[in-house]
Amino acid sequence: MAKKSYKKNSTTATVDETNKNEKTAVEQVSFFSKYKIHIILFVFSCLLYANTLQNQYASDDTLVITSNKFTQNGIAGLKDIFTNDAFVGFFGERGKTLVAGGRYRPLSLASFAIEISLFGKNKPHISHAINALLYGFTIVIIYLLLIELFDSKIIEEKWWLSIPFLIALLYAAHPIHTEAVANIKGRDEIMGMMFSMASVYLAINFIRKNNINYLISFSVCLFLAYLSKENAITIIAVVFLCYYVFTNAKSKQYFQTTIAYALPTVIFLLLRSKFTSSSLSKFTKELMNDPFLLSTPAQKMGTLFYTFIMYLKLQIIPYPLTHDYYPYQIPKVSFDNIVVIISVIVNVALFLYAIYAVYTKKNKIAFGLLFYFITFSVVSQVLFTVGTTMNERFVFMPSLGIVIAFILLLHQVAAKYNKQLMYIVFGIVLVYSTITIARNPVWKNDATLFLHDIEISKNSAKLNLAVGGVLIDSANTKTDTLLKKQMLTSAIEHLQKAIEIYGDSTVLVDNEEIHIGYANAYNLLGNAYYFLNADLVNAEKAYKMADYYNPGHFDSYQNLVTIFYNEHKFAESIPLLKTLIYTEPSNASFHFKLGDAYKNTNNFDSAILFYNKSIELDPKTYDILASYQIGLCYARFKNDIPNGIPYLIRACQLDPNNINCNEDLGVAYAMSGKPTEAITYLKNCLKIQPSYQNAILNISIAYQARGMVDSANYYKSLLVK
């Protein structure tokens, strides 16, 4: 029986294929139509920071990436990243107590470590690209949240004039965000904002859809926000504010959300307390960690209100921008200052209005203002000090509230008078975008950033210090002696200004006088003097001033040790090295130098002890050097040749082409009555340097000791007359 053919008709096949293509085209159109606003916002946000890809590392990138031993270890460093204060990777153990409150922000550090494992070290363009992409995702998440908050009654028919789109667009373009995005270290701000807004979005969806899975996801995102940056702690207030203004959440749902908030919060606080050891109330003598250290309570609050109006001003007119507001770029003022008085009136009035209008009318403009005040509270420094007088990145999250309030106010005015007023937003976005794109290249590297911003932050002690530092570093790369001298002279001027701004004070703490002065600036000043005509006298004075203001000052002690070695003041270096070893007990270099200092002060037993410790800590670096020095201590200085020879043998085995090791071992054998072995190692010297006179003479003596007169005379004849 013949098989029946089921061959498809070619016409039918063509129709099916056409239908398939049409269906695919419809799906593609539907996808773009559905997500076109998300795509536009994402691409726009990323493009704003596309020119950062040509930038290098700058500012605090050194702390978290380039000189952070944990992130530099890649994935292998993740355990250390999650079990230590954020500063330990750079400063070592002393990083645990460096700043009040400590810093536990492992997630951004972990992302840097993973980057290094995937792409290798020293790839700033990769880091900048990731920052830009994360910023784009953050803007999209903010847009998704805004859609949930502002329903279709508020959204215009023209999507480009819709409230959510305009808010997201203006927020994305705002130049005050450049520090968070253009500075790679600012990733903690971006990730903190991204996960915080995602958690609010999920909490709102929990109410809208009554699905517990959203609440679980809320907890996860909140925990990730905490691991990014601690200011996510305010999110519960934002969530409840959103519940009150935009939903009809029931008491049970408030309670459930509280539980979902409490769990990640408690876990995070337990981890933070375990892995950071600084107390918020701990006294610090460093003005750069507590800008109100030398201020009265009235001056502190007056200065804070001064910064509050400055923050509002920068969110409306974001120019000029600077990365540095350290003392005393923001002046120390009290309540008799007119700017402070205006700030008190404006901020208190806005805050009281926001509370009243939200409580009585659920006013959405007031919601934006209250969002600002809630998220700003943790960085306002009213409750605790965060290390600097103010900083643009501190309002990375709060600025969304101001943008919300502005767009809603403009929408209200436009609806009343002329809807075309909403197009003003695009003009503002254009101006803001221009400022943002122009600001990005300033973050190219330390030199570009510091030398640019010093023109704005002329009264910042820290920035004058930073400029002095980059000028010293740059001067040391110059071959033109005149240019080098000019740069070092300029560095000295900036460092002296930093010292002047910082001031000189004495405070009484627990009945003990504490001297307050800029130790770090004195340390760099010592460096500048040292490199400028090798001025050891002024360099030593500067380093000692650093020690005066900060006893045990780590960097100045290292520099003083260098000075003392150059001047052969080995005895003076011993107490400094002991302090350095106490601070960094695993530093093999300090142990080796202390061994050297003891050797040069004839304390050979102590020298041997510390030389051995250097080998134990870092055999790769110090096995040869320390073994040779131990051999000398025994054989040459203690006249204990039997104990010295094994160390000299080891040094020769590890470095057979070291002429000094071979010569000293040959002499040691000769002195111990072993001329044959002596000749072997002394001849090694001649293999390295055929005309080496000391070796020739000692070989002649060794042959004479063996009774080999002809050989002795032969080598004696090789001596230069």
Do residue 506 and residue 433 come from a single domain?
A: no
User: Three-class SS of residue 390?
Assistant: coil
- What's the confidence (pLDDT) of residue 186? 97
- How many Å apart are CA 609 and CA 612, to the nearest integer? 5
- Helix axis angle for 187-209 and 235-246, nearest 10°, is 40
Are 261 and 360 within one domain? Answer: yes
**Does the structure show a pLDDT above 70 at 157?**
no
- 97 and 130 in a single domain? The answer is yes
What mean pLDDT is predicted for residues 34-54? 96
Residue of 84, 81, 60 lying closest to 70 (CA atoms): 81
432 domain residue, yes or no = yes
Q: Are residues 115 and 255 in the same domain?
A: yes
| Higher pLDDT, residue 284 or 213 | 213
Q: 615, 124 in Cβ contact below 8 A?
A: no
Question: Residue 642: inside a domain, yes or no?
Answer: no
Count of C-beta atoms within a 10 Å radius of residue 9? 8
Query: What pLDDT digit, counting tens, does each position of 223-268 carry?
Result: 999 999 999 999 999 999 999 999 999 999 999 999 999 999 999 9
The percentage of residues in the chain with a pLDDT greater than 70, rounded to a whole number, is 92
Alpha helix ranges (H) inside 294-445: 297-316, 338-361, 364-377, 399-416, 424-439
Instruction: Tell me which of 75-84, 90-99, 112-121 is least confident.
Output: 90-99
Domain boundary (439, 471, 489) is at: 439
Is the pLDDT confidence value at 27 over 60? no
Q: How far apart, in whole angstroms, are the C-alpha atoms of residue 657 and residue 81?
A: 42
Looking at residue 205, what is its pLDDT? Answer: 97
What's residue 6's pLDDT?
42
pLDDT at 720: 81
One domain, residues 77 and 164? yes
Question: What's the pLDDT tens digit per position in 669-692?
Answer: 999 999 999 999 999 999 999 999
Residue 526 included in any domain: yes
Distance CA 116, CA 72 (A): 7
- What DSSP element (H or E) covers 159? none
Is 495 among the domain residues?
Answer: yes
| Token duo for residue 330 | 């923001």
Q: Same domain for 432 and 475?
A: no
305 versus 386: the higher-pLDDT residue is 305
Average pLDDT over residues 488-497: 97
DSSP state at residue 8: P
pLDDT value at position 28? 53
**pLDDT at position 22 over 60:** no
Specify the DSSP element, H or E, that contains 453: helix 446-453
- In this structure, the chain runs to a length of 721
When mean pLDDT is compared across 51-60, 289-298, 336-345, 483-492, the lowest value belongs to 289-298
Within this chain, do residues 170 and 110 fall inside the same structural domain, yes or no? yes
d(CA 606, CA 140): 65
Neighbours of 96 (CB within 10 A): 18
* For residues 414-434, average pLDDT: 95
- Does residue 95 have a pLDDT over 80? no
Token pair recorded at residue 639: 């006249």
Higher pLDDT, 95 or 636: 636
Q: Which residue has the tokens 């409150």?
A: 101
Domain that holds residue 497: 460-567
More confident position, 138 or 276? 138
pLDDT of residue 4: 45
Looking at the structure, tell me whether residues 431 and 472 fall in a common domain.
Answer: no
Domain membership flag for residue 473: yes
Question: What is the reported pLDDT for 8?
Answer: 47
Average per-residue pLDDT in the chain? Answer: 91
pLDDT for residue 384: 80
Structurally, the chain folds into a number of domains equal to 2
Residues 420 and 468 both lie in one domain: no
Geometric angle at alpha carbon 553, from 548 and 554, rounded to 5°: 160
| pLDDT (average), residues 461-485 | 96
Q: What is the pLDDT of residue 2?
A: 46
> Does residue 99 lie within any of the structural domains?
yes
SS3 515: strand
The pLDDT-based confidence of 32 (bands split at 50, 70, 90) is low
End-of-domain residue from the set 567, 590, 621: 567
- CATH number, position 549: 1.25.40.10
Residue 114 inside a domain? The answer is yes
Model confidence over 621-633: pLDDT tens digits? 999 999 999 999 9
Q: Is 509 helix (H, G, I), strand (E, B) or coil?
A: strand
* pLDDT band, very low/low/confident/very high, at 279 (cuts 50, 70, 90): low
Indicate if 422 and 339 belong to the same structural domain: yes
Mean pLDDT, rounded, for 452-456: 98
Angle in degrees, 0-180, between the axes of helices 124-149 and 187-209, rounded to the nearest 10:
30
How confident is the model at residue 90, as a pLDDT?
A: 83
Report d(CA 698, CA 713) in Å as an integer.
12
Q: Per residue in 504-534, pLDDT tens?
A: 998 877 778 889 999 999 999 999 999 998 8
Under the banding of pLDDT at 50, 70 and 90, the label for residue 1 is: very low
Q: What is the 3-state secondary structure (H, E, C) of 116-137?
A: HHHHCCCCHHHHHHHHHHHHHH
Q: Which residue has the higher pLDDT, 255 or 564?
A: 255
Cα 530 to Cα 363, 489, 576: the distances in Å are 64, 12, 19
CA distance 380 to 234: 13
Q: What is the mean pLDDT of residues 116-125?
A: 96
pLDDT above 90 for 94? no
**380 & 338 share domain:** yes
Confirm whether 651 is domain-assigned. no
Report the predicted TM-score, pTM, of the whole model to 2 decimal places.
Answer: 0.82
User: What pLDDT was estimated at residue 492?
Assistant: 97
pLDDT for position 560:
87
Least confident window among 19-23, 216-220, 579-583:
19-23
Q: Does residue 291 sit in the same domain as residue 323?
A: yes
pLDDT tens per residue, range 161-172: 999 999 999 999
**Domain finish residue from 387, 405, 439:** 439
Q: Is 235:212 a contact under the CB 8 Å cutoff?
A: no
